[in-house]
Amino acid sequence: MMSLLPTLWKTFEHVTLATMRVFIPNCLSPLQFDCRKSYSLLDAVYLILEKVHKASNDKLYSSALFLDV
């Protein structure tokens, strides 16, 4: 029985991951960049720079709060 546990666990892990890949992307905010396929840190940085640039052009102030939890 002990030798079957790693095999059963890996099977459960693969089924769970496949299920999550189907349902999770529909639940995430479009501004969520972490843990998403085809998104990276550069996408998040580009979005922030774009918003700061737009605010600057409109003569507005912009601020940001960065948390690393």
Query: Tell me, what's the pLDDT at 17?
Result: 84
The SS3 call for residue 44 is helix
Instruction: Give Rg (Cα) of the chain.
Output: 20
pLDDT digit string, tens, across residues 10-60:
889 989 888 887 877 777 777 887 777 788 889 989 999 999 999 999 999
Q: Got the DSSP string for 8-42?
A: HHHHHHHHHHHHHHHHHHHHS-TT--TT-TT--HH
- Residue spans of the domains in the chain: they are 5-57
Rounded Cα distance between 39 and 37, Å, is 6
